[in-house]
């Protein structure tokens, strides 16, 4: 995966995330097979996290450890949310708050900083080639 494709991947992650979020919230309201969508979200983002982590390693991203720690925390919380939905202990408000925090706290901050870093690396490489 190169920097152009990671930028595309970040953008598509956001779109997919928002679509799944809406779908999930509707299903929570209907109380039908909601955990299946949370699991789909979990698997999708584990793959996305792996791609990002490979790129961070490849380009010696200075905040690698912190970013990976953040991915692990998000995965753990998502897994807990899924368990809570299955047992009925997680409310609609809790899921919505988690999703919003994820979009604003990680995708729109940490991932964008990473995207800019990769873009800068690519620009520097292009100049020296």
Residues that bind Fe ion (CB under 5 A): 52, 111
Cβ–Cβ < 8 Å for 85, 118: no
Q: Which is nearer to Fe ion, 98 or 111 (CB)?
A: 111
Q: Which is nearer to Fe ion, 85 or 115 (CB)?
A: 115
27: tokens are 């299903």
CB of 86: closest distance to Fe ion in angstroms? 26
Q: Which is nearer to Fe ion, 78 or 111 (CB)?
A: 111
Q: Which is nearer to Fe ion, 35 or 115 (CB)?
A: 115
Half-sphere exposure of 48 (CA within 13 A, CB side): 24
Cα 3 to the center of its chain, rounded Å: 17
As a whole number of angstroms, the distance between CA 26 and CA 53 comes to 32
CB of 33: closest distance to Fe ion in angstroms? 28
CB of 58: closest distance to Fe ion in angstroms? 15
CB of 71: closest distance to Fe ion in angstroms? 6
Distances (CA, A) of 122 to 21, 82, 125: 32, 38, 5
User: What residue is closest to Fe ion based on CB?
Assistant: 111
């Amino acid at each position: 995966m190169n920097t152009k494709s990671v930028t595309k991947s970040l953008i598509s992650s956001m779109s997919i995330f928002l679509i799944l979020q809406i779908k999930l919230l509707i299903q929570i309201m209907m109380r039908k097979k909601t955990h299946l969508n949370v699991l789909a979200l979990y698997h999708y983002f584990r793959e996305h996290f792996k791609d990002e982590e490979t790129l961070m390693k490849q380009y010696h991203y200075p905040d690698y450890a912190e970013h990976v720690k953040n991915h692990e925390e998000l995965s753990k919380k998502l897994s807990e949310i899924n368990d809570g939905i299955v047992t009925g202990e997680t409310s609609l408000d809790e899921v919505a708050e988690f999703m919003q925090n994820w979009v604003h706290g990680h995708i729109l901050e940490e991932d964008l900083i990473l995207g800019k870093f990769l873009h800068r690396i690519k620009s520097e490489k292009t100049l020296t080639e």
